[in-house]
A and B are shown apart, each in its own frame.
Chain A
Amino acid sequence: MACDKWDSLRGSRVPVIHIGTATCGAAAGALDVLESVRRTLNENRLEATVVQVGCIGPCYLEPLMDITMPGFPRVSYANVTPQMAGSIIERYLIKGDPSLELAVGHFGSNGNGDFDGLPRFFEMPMLKPQVRVVLRNCGFIDPEDIDHYLANDGYVGLAGALEKRPEDVIAEVKEAGLRGRGGAGFPTYRKWEICRSVPGTTKYMICNCSEGDPGAFMNRSLIESDPHCVLEGLLIAAYAIGANHGYVYINSDYALAIARLKKAASQMKEYGLLGENILDSGFSFDVTIKEGAGAFVCGEETALIGSIEGKRGMPRSRPPFPAISGLRGEPTIINNVETLGALPNIIRNGAAWYRQFGVQGNYGTKTFSLVGKIRRPGLIEVPLGIKLRQIIFEIGGGSQKRFKAVQTGGPSGGCLSEEYLDIPVEYESMTAAGSIMGSGGMIVMDEETCAVDLALYFLHFTQNESCGKCSPCRVGTHHMVDILEKIVRGQGQMDDLSKLQVLAETVARASLCGLGQTAPNPVLTTLRHFRSEFLQHVKEKHCSAAVCRELVEYDIDPVKCNGCHRCVSVCPTAAITGAKSELHKIDIYLCIKCRACYEICRFDPLAADAIVFRSRRSVL
């Protein structure tokens, strides 16, 4: 039945319009596009099926609208505005003109297909080096329709797993070499084996979608675009360890993801995929969606368990590990969203198939949110072992200004400079370089990003998010922030750098949980790879990226300024004065250096690009 529904969509006699309306698409304006599409269809009395899909990956092309005319491959239009959407539909659906000048790619099977000069969507530079295992359905299926998932081999993995003994499922995952995608890279099977071997009948399986690190949205995107794939993985894992109850712990800010998970779970119940005796296998399982309330530390296993129990999310010392004594003292396994998302594919296609991706010891794929100062930001999935350089320059298209560094692993990770771009993306090599694989945040920095400022940013974050239980983390991060603040204000001394180093090493060694142990990483890696920038701040009171406020001054170029008055009206502190059509002046004592004037002077068509800011070197 599900396949019929899918085939009728694929072989539809009416046009099918796909619009990506996940959170990021919506932020880019996809909902307005959707409304315009519906209005245009109504006004012209056109028959078409509109499918709201998740995120296909290249966020820089959002909002994306795809049209499939009967007998033709699907064509994708990027950066669609509501007006554009209306006119494309009128041109294509009424006049038969596919508006190729507005299209970015098609989803046909061969080169140019039926469209002259239009590349295949997956042949575009951003998508070509990628492989789609976990994200395979994202952007293709309606995430709120279980039939779409079923028609695309959904729950085949679960059915396959239920036919095996749990031990064999574990063996298959071992063979596939799957490691925890939350960042630590612990072999998934080993955790499972420990849990399975613990006697007792009550065990819990938890999906960790806390995703509290800033700059990361892979898990949210996956759940919004394909919730069933994560739930199928959860069931497979639960069956393997012998758990009959599961939780999805999810950030309460992910409203759409939560709604889709709940809908998916209720559809599963209807189809007998949740509840008693699933698929007549004798295996019973039910799942509860638990919302977190915004605490980064709750991504840590023991803190997460505390949060589910309704307590403050504070980590406890391990052992005992949750696999032995976790939620309510029972054996508990916590796996990341992406780890679970890989499972249906592994069981369905076999371990050998999965091992074709990646390299020895690091098999499979990893999703990253590639963002920051980069031309083609988005959600990507690459085989492990790929070079960082390939991700940043081939997939991401490099940065507009000169590339400076890439930050991986969020607040627990580090900054890698250009010389490290040829290391392969593997758990071990990333750690050796001083950073970590992390859950998948990848932030690109260019020459206009200050490494010291970014280190301070992350440390501010971890200091705020420190739960306060152990003093190395609570007090240590506070002192590190103090020192870094001194440095960015231009008040740093040379011995501050050595103090910072010693403090960072102490916090890393003495903290109770992963948050504190990794909190100094951004500082340690910047001290290691960008020491010259620290020295500039300390010795020359100079910030080469012109980010650190106290070291920057604003000025108006008297030759360029045309007196357009735009900056005067935008300045929040009335620091800029001058009559219209006359030269403007900045009062540096009132200026808060918020860049509002600079932005407007750059981007307003009337303005003359006259406002400049720079950081001078002061030689002592």
Chain B
Amino acid sequence: MSGNAYNDIFSAFKGDEGDLIAILLRIQEKFGYISEDAVKHTAQFLRLSENRIYGVASFYSKFRFTEPGTTSIKVCMGTACHVHGGKFLADAVGWKLGVSIGQVTEDRRFDFQRVNCLGCCALAPVVKVNDRVHARMMVIGLEEILSRRE
């Protein structure tokens, strides 16, 4: 990725240390993950060590350091989803896709993640596929949603 793409992001910031998390969020929104390259550029822009950038980024669960798959599947692991069987759902879907939570399928089509809580607790269990939250999910329903993307 060219440095220009980063400069576009950086131009909205003054370059204070306090901007670090916002910058990383913008980078992740644009590229899908925080690459080594991104850490390097951010370090130069903020005049902080790469170590420092990585230290902050790895602290927050939102940031990821591997390239995401095409379709993102986020299984909610909130308390309400848990008591409504969210972990069973996650297991079944993981087996079907052949991946564990946090992994991308071999063909890079599906990106399988967990989230702490999507805040749609009254509709538990929920799964977010790309930008859409699906309510009261069952294995069969999720399969159908995913098959539509094949």
Is there contact, CB below 8 Å, between A27 and B117?
no
Residues 48-88 (chain B) with a chain A CB within 8 angstroms: 55-56, 59-63, 77-80, 82-85, 88
Residues 97-120 (chain B) with a chain A CB within 8 angstroms: 115-120
Residues 124-141 (chain B) with a chain A CB within 8 angstroms: 124, 126, 133-135, 138-140
- Nearest first, the 4 A-B pairs at minimum CB distance are A59-B122, A215-B79, A293-B60, A572-B95
Is there contact, CB below 8 Å, between A461 and B120?
no
Q: How far is the CB of A332 from chain B (nearest CB, A)?
A: 14
Question: Nearest CB to that of A296 among chain B residues?
Answer: B116
With A215-B117, A310-B20 already in contact, 20 other A-B pairs whose C-beta atoms are closer than 8 Å: A27-B135, A60-B122, A215-B80, A291-B22, A292-B21, A292-B60, A294-B62, A295-B61, A311-B17, A369-B122, A371-B121, A372-B84, A373-B84, A454-B83, A467-B59, A593-B88, A594-B88, A595-B88, A596-B138, A599-B138
B9 within 8 Å of A (CB atoms): no
Could you name 9 residue pairs across A and B whose Cβ atoms are closer than 8 Å?
A: A27-B120, A215-B79, A291-B25, A309-B18, A310-B20, A371-B124, A372-B79, A592-B92, A596-B139
Q: Note all chain A residues with C-beta closer than 8 A to B93.
A: 572
B36 within 8 Å of A (CB atoms): no
Chain B residue total in the interface (Cβ 8 A): 49
Residues 6-52 (chain B) with a chain A CB within 8 angstroms: 16-22, 24-25
Question: Nearest CB to that of A604 among chain B residues?
Answer: B140
Take A291-B22, A296-B116, A595-B85 as given contacts and tell me if A377 and B121 are in contact as well, using a CB distance cutoff of 8 Å: yes
Chain A residue total in the interface (Cβ 8 A): 66
B96 within 8 Å of A (CB atoms): yes
Q: How far is the CB of A380 from chain B (nearest CB, A)?
A: 11
Is there contact, CB below 8 Å, between B117 and A216?
yes
Is there contact, CB below 8 Å, between B91 and A592?
yes
Take A220-B119, A594-B88, A599-B140 as given contacts and tell me if A309 and B17 are in contact as well, using a CB distance cutoff of 8 Å: yes
Q: Note all chain A residues with C-beta closer than 8 A to B91.
A: 572, 592, 594
Q: Note all chain A residues with C-beta closer than 8 A to B88.
A: 593-596
Take A572-B96, A595-B88 as given contacts and tell me if A369 and B21 are in contact as well, using a CB distance cutoff of 8 Å: no
Instruction: Give Cα A452–Cα B63 distance, bound, in whole angstroms.
Output: 31
- The interface bits of chain A over 444-465 (1 if a CB of B lies within 8 angstroms of the residue's CB, else 0) are 0100010000100110010011
Take A311-B56, A595-B88 as given contacts and tell me if A215 and B95 are in contact as well, using a CB distance cutoff of 8 Å: no
Question: Nearest CB to that of B134 among chain A residues?
Answer: A27
Instruction: Give Cα A594–Cα B94 distance, bound, in whole angstroms.
Output: 10
Instruction: Give Cα A292–Cα B85 distance, bound, in whole angstroms.
Output: 28
A600 within 8 Å of B (CB atoms): yes
